[in-house]
Amino acid sequence: MALIGFPLWLGDKSRFVTKAVEAYNAGFDYIELSFDYPWPIPDEETPRKIASYARSLGLDVAIHGSWRDVRLASPMDEVREASLRYVSRTFEIAKKLEPKYIVLHVSTDQAVSEVKELEQLVVDAATRSALELAGLASKLEMMLLFENIPSSFCSLVEHMKKLVSSVSGAEVCLDIGHAWLQALKSDEERRASIEEVLDKWIEGLGSKIQAVHVHDCLVKEGRIQEHVAPSLDSPSIKSLLRLKSRNLKARFMVLEVFRRSDGKEASPRDLAGLVERLKRAL
């Protein structure tokens, strides 16, 4: 059975004790702690305190690697190499927290989908970064996962297949909300169902998917909101349960939510019923 996690990030700094206790009481198995500046550089102490407290409750810890201002797939060497140096330093700190895994975005702001000749340059840049980080993660004995994002490079299953096929031992975190959001933005896939979108990812990368991020995406006033708490009968949850029949072997699942459908902040206790249902079903 997959372990179920809840995200903690910089915005939870002053209340991580409350959030961790709520996560434990709601039935979560672990927290996925996001490295957001200044965590863990220069503030290494706060992540250490959070991980230590979570473990004192009986929760495991995983890490969502730094992604803001980090562009590991940039074809501009100066940008990519600066990002790589920063992320490599965070790996050394993450090792001390003994995480179940560390998940990364390998991204760029370049218009990959609009300018076709950029694609191979970005693939090559992403592969160079991924190879170096995979080697470091292996040396540090940490599981490294690469996550799909909602736009640009690594938003398409084809991108992710090129990346993981070039990096020995590379594994994937499938973000269901990001996959669905990318499809909604695509002229080719916007009419596809969420099941059809996920089928493409499972067919292309099923054996590589070790973790899943789950959240709803809602359209409000013409804008798409992601990381919304799913209901028991939401399409994302129904699709997740359907993946069981596809023999998906993911070991970890994060309910990566930050807000409720009414726009208010989501808490772990809001998800207790969903956690119970998922544990019964999965």
Q: Residue 31 in 3-state DSSP?
A: strand
Look up tokens 């020995």; give the residue: 168
pLDDT tens-place string over residues 14-55: 999 999 999 999 999 999 999 999 999 999 999 999 999 999
Mean pLDDT over 158-173 rounds to 91
- The CATH code for residues 3-281 is 3.20.20.150
Question: Residue 120's pLDDT band (boundaries 50, 70, 90)?
Answer: confident
Rounded CA gap, 229 and 10, in Å? 19
Phi, psi (deg, nearest 5) at residue 161: -60, -40
Question: Residue 119's pLDDT band (boundaries 50, 70, 90)?
Answer: confident
Sequence ranges of the domains in the chain: 3-281
Q: Residue 60 in 3-state DSSP?
A: strand
pLDDT tens-place string over residues 230-243: 888 888 888 888 87
Q: Report whether pLDDT(244) > 80.
A: no
Q: Are strands 252-255 and 209-214 parallel, antiparallel or unpaired?
A: parallel
Q: Report whether pLDDT(282) > 80.
A: no
